[in-house]
Amino acid sequence: MTLPRTPVSDTVSDTGPRLALSGITKAYPSVVANDAIDLDVAAGEIHAVLGENGAGKSTLMKVIYGVVKPDAGTILWEGKPVSIANPARARRLGIGMVFQHFSLFETLTVAENIALSLDRERAGGDLPARIREVSARYGLPLDPDRHVLSMSVGERQRVEIVRCLLQDPRLLIMDEPTSVLTPQAVEKLFETLRRLSDEGCSILYISHKLDEIRALCTRATVLRGGKVTGACDPRRESSASLARMMIGGDLPRPQHRAAKLGEARLVVDGLTLAADDPFGTSLSDLHLTVHAGEIVGIAGVSGNGQKELMAALSGERTVDSPGAVRLMGTPAGRLDAEERRALGLAFVPEERLGRGAVPEMSLAENALLTAHRQDLVRNGFVRTDAVRGFAAETIAQFNVKAGGPDAAARSLSGGNLQKFIVGREIRQAPKLMIAAQPTWGVDVGAAAQIRQALIDLRDAGVAVLVVSEELDELFEICDRLAVIAQGRLADARPTRDTNAEEIGLLMAGSFIAAGTESGRRLSPAGAVDV
């Protein structure tokens, strides 16, 4: 990297800001995503852009990276007006972006992936050697010949970052980079970012995690409803004051009473299951008990067997030994999803569209899919009015913003559809609720509501199992925490007796004795790196 070393400071350098946006406006048919946004980023500064989902952060970043064309506004790059027509142009200017959902090609190798985003001259010749060199220099070890699909999410993120670094960026955009990392991996990432900033590279850091922004960033711009609502020095703010700027009010704190334990409703006893897809994770000898009246969380980086475990619990995959999964005391290993639901199981899958709900069907029809036992079907005929009534009540009770029971599931925003799905399951008065990533991609307000609904369920004496990648969420709502890594499960421990650091080490597989990697096949798809 041949960048001039500029001291890190809050002041804009003599040449003016590296990037200055003024009056950026982008309207979509139903919503103004960016409304006259001004933003400037100094050389070598780590600048946070803060806001809820739907505040316009991602649209603004796409404008800077040339993926989206703004309707109005000007962009100054190092003092000169530019029009960034496409990502290739952005890269030529020296703008790199690490996407929230990785833009990697799984079946290609690391070197091929990186070559795709470099221009012809840089992609040629000794690219693998340069990848090794840059990755070693920044402490991001990478093997250029590995296929991406055999890599963990942390490693994939390294590929994205190294890919940007090879373009000698002068502005790096990071879109929610830590959502899939263990706490230890986050610390490592921050070291890399601080080092880049010391070398003069500006960083735009998008996140809704307030602690991280306070730890890393020197300036923050807050967006709400597509407008800039504030700017501050996050190091001088508290998480609460940042949250107020972000959502325009206080976050509701969930109420958490002491657990009143009842009988064991879910017992997983020696569950072993081979992965059904070559890049999946096999489960080996899992043990877990969830009692009535408690919330048990399973932490872990995705791809460590969560998908397989959820399928084995919901009944999408059956296991040979009936006693490996016991629901409400009944051996259920060989029961299918419908039979397990009849025992009192409710299940909220990770994918809202496709598994949680049929996108093309109305909310009423989607309600019928799992709630048909609620007297919605008589003699084989659907009671249409009762179905619509059930959907309408769910919409009202859980504050779902939707056009009514006849609105298609795909017309709802992620958060609202999730509230509907969770509501649909809760209104069936389950004995055991299993929820996978219940607040993934849901805005802060809806997430708080969903968490509260799960806590209310527990207080009503239901057994609740939550699988999540969000440690904060698990610490907030769970009574006990288990950790899944490489298809193995660490014993659940009371949440108050543990901390993020310990859980982070467990997520990295510290509880697995060396040499027992039978949970993996072909490739360590679920491996975690610290």
Partner 1 sequence: MDTVAQLVILTLAAGTPLVFAALGELVTEKAGVLNLGVEGMMLVGAVVAFIVASTSGSPWLGVAAGMAAGAVVSMIFAVVALSLMANQVATGLALSLFGIGLSAFVGLDFVSVVIEGIKPLAIRGLSDLPVVGQLLFGHNPLVYLSFVLFAAVQAFLYRSRAGLVLRAVGESPQSAHAIGYPVIAIRYAAVFFGGACSGLAGAYLSVAYTPLWVEGMVAGRGWIALALVVFATWKPWRVLAGAYLFGGVTLAQFQAQASGSAIPAQYLSMLPYLATIVVLAVISRDTVTIRLNAPASLGKPFHPAG
Residue 66 touches partner 1, criterion: CB under 8 A: yes
Number of residues that bind partner 1 (CB under 8 A): 29
Residue closer to partner 1 (CB basis): 105 or 384: 105
Q: Least distance (Å) from partner 1 to the CB of residue 59?
A: 9
Q: Under the criterion CB under 8 A, does residue 62 sit at the interface with partner 1?
A: yes
Query: Any idea what the Cα angle at residue 206 is, between residues 200 and 212, rounded to 5°?
Result: 85
Stretch that binds partner 1, among 98-106, 348-356, 425-433, 493-501 (CB under 8 A): 98-106
Diameter of the chain by CA atoms? 79
Instruction: For 306, list phi and psi in degrees, rounded to 5.
Output: -60, -45
Nearest distance from residue 350's CB to partner 1, in Å?
19
Nearest C-alpha neighbor of 448 from the set 467, 478, 476, 409: 476
Q: Could you tell me the smallest distance in angstroms from the CB atom of residue 87 to partner 1?
A: 4
Rounded CA gap, 439 and 418, in Å?
8
Q: Which among 254, 230, 227 is positioned nearest to 242, based on CA atoms?
A: 230
Quick check: 68 binds partner 1 (CB under 8 A)? Answer: yes
The minimum distance between CB 34 and partner 1, in angstroms, equals 12
Beta-carbon contacts of 180 under 8 Å, excluding residues fewer than 6 positions away, are: 153, 154, 157, 301, 302, 469
99 contacts partner 1 (rule: CB under 8 A)? yes
Decide: is 522 part of the binding site for partner 1 (CB under 8 A).
yes
Laid out side by side, the sheet with 19-27 consists of 32-41, 19-27, 72-77, 80-82
Counting contacts by CB under 8 A, is residue 106 touching partner 1? yes
Site for partner 1 in 110-149 (CB under 8 A): 112, 115-117, 120, 123, 147, 149
Q: Would you count residue 264 as binding partner 1 (CB under 8 A)?
A: no
CB of 114 to partner 1, least distance (A): 11
Torsion of CA 133, 137, 141, 144, to 10 degrees: -20
Strand partners, 203: 46, 172
440 binds partner 1 (CB under 8 A): no
DSSP code at position 109 = B
CB 360 to partner 1: min, Å: 14
88 touches partner 1 by CB under 8 A:
yes
User: Binding residue for partner 1 (CB under 8 A) from 13, 82, 279, 441?
Assistant: 279
Per CB under 8 A, which region of 86-94, 171-179, 195-203, 448-456 contacts partner 1? Answer: 86-94
Interior/surface letters 50-72, b for 16+ CB within 10 angstroms, e for the rest:
bbbbbbbbbbbbbbbbbbbebee
Strand pairing class (202-207; 46-50): parallel
**What whole-number distance in Å separates Cα of residue 252 and Cα of residue 459?**
18
Written as six digits, the tokens of 215 are 């730890």
**Distance in Å, CB of 56 to partner 1, minimum:** 14
Q: Is 69 or 137 the residue whose CB approaches partner 1 more closely?
A: 69
Q: Which residue in 13, 103, 498, 510 binds partner 1 (CB under 8 A)?
A: 103
88 or 369, CB closer to partner 1? 88
CA–CA distance, 521 with 526 (Å, rounded to integer)? 10
Which spans of this chain sit near partner 1 (rule: CB under 8 A)?
62, 66-69, 86-88, 91, 99, 102-108, 112, 115-117, 120, 123, 147, 149, 277-279, 522
